[in-house]
Chain A
Amino acid sequence: MIDCPYCLMPQSFNRGDNCESCGKKVPRQFIDSARVKPPIYIVTYGSSQHGKSTLLGSMSFILERFGMIVQRSFHTYLDPYTTERVAAIQRGQLTGDPNLGATPMNDNPQPLLIALKNFPVPQESQVFVIFDLPGEVTDKITDRVMDDSTPAPLYARAVAKAKTVWFIVSLYDTQREMRLTGKSINNLFFSYQLVMGHFNVPLQDRNILVVYTKADLLMKEDDTNQLRIPDWIYEYLGTDKYYEVGNRGVARPALLDYNHYITELERVSAELQSFTESDVSGGSAFVAMTQDSHAQLYFTIDSAQGSGTTGVEIKRIRVIDPLIWSILLSKDDPNGASTTALILPTQVAQDVYAANLPNVLFDRLRARNIHPSTYFMGELRTAFTDSSIPSDINPPVGRVPLIGAILDHLSAGSVAVVLTGNTLPRDVDDFAYTSWDDRLLLIGTDKAVLNTRIRWKFVAQTPEDLEQIVREFLRQLEALRAR
C-alpha cells in the first residue's frame, strides 16, 4: 500500500494515478518510487516567524545546484504546486518580502513533493513529502485534535505520520517570547506529544530534529540576545563550504564527502544537545522530557539567510543539514521495526582491525542510508552506545566467536552484516537454509569463509572489496523487498 501524499490515505494505486480517497492525481514518479522505497515525510513544526519557510527556501536554492557538490545528483519537483510554491518562497527570499514565502493557515495543507536523485550514492534516490506547516498550527493543533466534534485536520495527521519532525526554533526569537509570553522550547514538545498520543503513535518510533535557525542573530549583542554561543558553533557555521552554492555564478566548491559530513552532523548534534541542556531556557527539561518519552532527539543549527536579507549577499549556511538528517533517520526500514546489525569479529581477528575494515564497512553502510547497530561477536549487548563507531576500536578480550544470540534477538526482517577474519563464527551454519538466507551477509578476510553453508559469503581484503560486496548484497535485498 502507498499513502496518498495529499490526504495520507493508504491505497494500492492499481487502478490509476488518482487517489481513491481525495481524488487528486498523484504524480506517477511518486507512485513508482514509493513502490520500491517509502518516501521520507518531513514536517516543519514551530512558531510563526521562526524561519520555517525561509529554511525551506534556502534549501531549495541549494538543491537546485546540488550537482555542484554531489556528482550526478539532481532534484525534481514532482507536481506543479511544489514548483509554484518553491518559486514563491524563493521570490520572497530574494526580494526580502516575507509575505511571499509565508505559509497560509489551512486545515489541509498541500505538501511539497521533491525527488533527489543519485544521493547519497549513485542510483539511490530520495522522495521527500514536506509539510511546511504555518506557525499558527502549533497554537491550534492541540485544540483541534482534542475536539471530537470534527475530524482531525490533515496537518495533525501529517505530524503523526512523519517519522522525523523538525522542531524549528529560532533561539533569538525564543528568548524574546519567553519574556513576553513565557513560552519556551518545551511548548513545542507538549503539543507534539499530545498529537502523537491522540493518534496512539508511540514516541519511541519517532525522531525529533531540533533545527536552530537564524544562527546569525545569535551573534547580536542586544537586550534580546542573552545567550553566549560557544566558539565551536561559530566554527561549525564558519567552515560550511557550501553556503554560496545557492547563488548563481559562484565557483564550484569541493565535492561533498558524505561520510565525513554525517560524522560532523552527529558530533554537532551531541554538542548542541549539551549546549541546550546547559544554556537554553527550559532546555534541560526539554531534553529530559524527550528522553523520557523515548523519542530520539537530534540537533542542528543553520543560518538560512546569513546576515544578508536580500539578493546576492545571502549566505545559506548549513541549511542542507536537516535534509541529510532526515535521510539518515529514515534508515532502511519502512516500518521502523527491523534493523541492521553490524557484527564485528573478536579481538583475535587483528588483521581485520589493522586494515580498518570495520570503520570502512560501517561508513559504506551508512552511505547507503543504513545506520547499523554494532555488536561484537559473542556479546549480546551492543558494542557502542549510539549509532556510531569509534576510529579506535577495542574489541572485548576472550569472547567466543558466535553470532546466534545476536541474530535471535533482532526483530523480524532485520539484516545482519558479519565481518570476520579467518576464524568463522562457530554457529554460522545454524542459519543456513533458514529465513536468514537473504538477510545474512558474511564477509571474511580468508577464503575459509566460503566453506560455510550460508548463501551470502565473500572474501574481502581491501576497502574496495567491501564497497562492491555491500553494493551487490543490498541490490539483491532491495530487489527482494520490491518483490
Chain B
Amino acid sequence: MTDYSLKVTGDERTGFPLVTLMIPATDTTPALAFQVGWMPLTWVQLEYFLAETFDRRFDAAWYQNMLSRSGRISANSLARFSDFPSLFVRGLTLQEVQIIGRWWGGDRFIVPTVKQWQEVQQVALGQPPANLEAFNIEPPLSPRAIGASKALEGLAATSDIQRNLADQMLLRGGLRELVMLESGNATVVGIGNPSRAVEAFNSDSLLKLDEGNRSRRIEVGMRLFLKLEKNVTQGENNGIAVKDLS
C-alpha cells in the first residue's frame, strides 16, 4: 500500500489555492511531486500576469480577442453551474501557456503529459471533497480566489451526484485541459471528462489539437502544474493523508 500526501497552499503570484501532491514511486512509475492549481486558470489569474508582463503580444487587442471567444464572468455573478466555464481562460495556444507558466513558476512550470495529468486525476478521484476554509493556508488566499472557490462549491453542492476531490478541482466534469501527448513529443491534446456545459456530447477521449497549435479551442483551458524540489518531504501536512487505491 502506498501513501499519497496532499497539502493546500496559496499561490504567491495570485493568491489562488495550489494543491501539493506527492506520489511515491512504484515498481512501474517514478515518484511524482507537483503543485497543481486547485482549479483551471481563471481570468483573474491571467489578469495578474497581464498586469505585470511587458510582452506586447498580450495587449488589449489580444485580451479582447480571447474575451470575445469565451466570455468572462465574475464569481459573484455566477448564478448557474453551467456558467462556470466563463470563470476560466480557454483557447490559449501552447506557446502562450508556456509564457504564462514561466511567469508563474519559472523552470518549475511544466505542461504535463497525459500520463502525469491522469495520475493526478486518479489520486483526486479517490478523495472526498476538502473544505478549503478548514485549512490554515499560507500564503493566504486572495478574496477573489475564495470567492471563486465558494461560488463553484455553492453551485455544485446543489447537485445530487456523490462528489469527490476530482470533481471539486474540476479534474472531472470541468474543462478540457491542455497537455502534451507524451514527454518529448510536441503533440498537444485536450484532456479531461468535460462538463456538458463545455461539450454537448462529451467523451473522455483525447481531443487532438491542430498541428502547429495555432487554432484556439474554446473547450480547452489550462492548469498550473509546477514541479516540486526534490527535497520536499511529507512533513508540515495540513492536508489529507490518503491511501493508494491500487
Residues of A within 8 A of B (CB): 346, 348, 378-380, 397-402, 404-406, 408, 426-427, 429-430, 432-435, 453
Contact = CB atoms under 8 A, between A and B. Distances in A.
A411 B56 CA distance: 29
Contacts of A426: 47, 63, 67, 72
Interface string B152-180: 00000000000000000000000000000
A380 B14 CA distance: 12
Interface stretch (B32-40, B73-81, B204-212, B232-240): B73-81
A432 B74 contact: yes
A432 B144 CA distance: 11
A399 B52 CA distance: 10
B59 interface: yes
A346 B64 CA distance: 14
Given A399-B60, A400-B50, A430-B144, 7 more contacts: A378-B50, A402-B51, A405-B47, A405-B50, A427-B74, A430-B75, A453-B77
A432 to B, nearest CB: 6
Contacts of A404: 44, 47-48, 144
B142 interface: yes
Nearest to B56: A398
Contacts of B144: 404, 408, 430
A221 to B, nearest CB: 54
Interface string B133-163: 0000000001110010000000000000000
Contact of B59 (A398, A427, A430): A398
A422 B245 CA distance: 56
Interface of B: 15, 43-44, 47-48, 50-52, 56, 59-61, 63, 67, 72, 74-77, 142-144, 147
Nearest to B52: A380
Nearest to B61: A398
A435 B143 CA distance: 9
B63 to A, nearest CB: 4
Given A348-B60, A401-B60, A430 B51 contact: no
A346, A408, A430, A434, most chain B CB atoms within 10 A: A430
A400 B44 contact: no
B140 to A, nearest CB: 12
Contact of B51 (A378, A397, A433, A435): A378
B60 A405 contact: no
Ranked 7 nearest A-B pairs via Cβ: A398-B59, A405-B51, A380-B51, A400-B63, A429-B74, A430-B74, A400-B60
B101 to A, nearest CB: 18
A454 to B, nearest CB: 11
A408 B74 contact: no
Nearest to B15: A408
B56 to A, nearest CB: 6
B151 to A, nearest CB: 11
A142 to B, nearest CB: 39
Contacts of B147: 430, 434
B143 A408 contact: yes
B51 A379 contact: yes
A429 B44 CA distance: 12
Contacts of A398: 56, 59-61
B51 A434 contact: no
A429 B51 CA distance: 18
A378 B142 CA distance: 18
A429 B60 contact: no
Contact of A433 (B61, B72, B76): B76
Given A429-B77, A430-B74, A430-B75, A400 B143 contact: no
A455 B72 CA distance: 21
A405 B67 CA distance: 18
11 contacts: A378-B51, A379-B51, A398-B56, A400-B47, A408-B48, A408-B144, A426-B47, A429-B77, A430-B75, A432-B76, A434-B76
A262 to B, nearest CB: 30
Contacts of B50: 378, 400, 402, 405
A405 B42 CA distance: 13
A93 B60 CA distance: 64
Nearest to A432: B76
Contacts of B59: 397-400
A406 B75 CA distance: 18
B99 to A, nearest CB: 16
B15 to A, nearest CB: 7
A429 B144 CA distance: 11
A414 to B, nearest CB: 13
Among B52, B142, B144, which residue has the most Cβ atoms of chain A within 10 A? B144
A401 B61 CA distance: 11
Nearest to A377: B51
Contacts of A432: 74, 76
A232 to B, nearest CB: 37
A142 B47 CA distance: 51
Contacts of B72: 426-427
A430 B87 CA distance: 11
B48 A430 contact: no
A152 B56 CA distance: 58
A428 B56 CA distance: 23
A379 B143 CA distance: 20
B143 A434 contact: yes
Contacts of B67: 426
A366 B147 CA distance: 34
A380 B144 CA distance: 17
A126 to B, nearest CB: 34
A427 B47 contact: yes
B74 A405 contact: no
B111 to A, nearest CB: 24
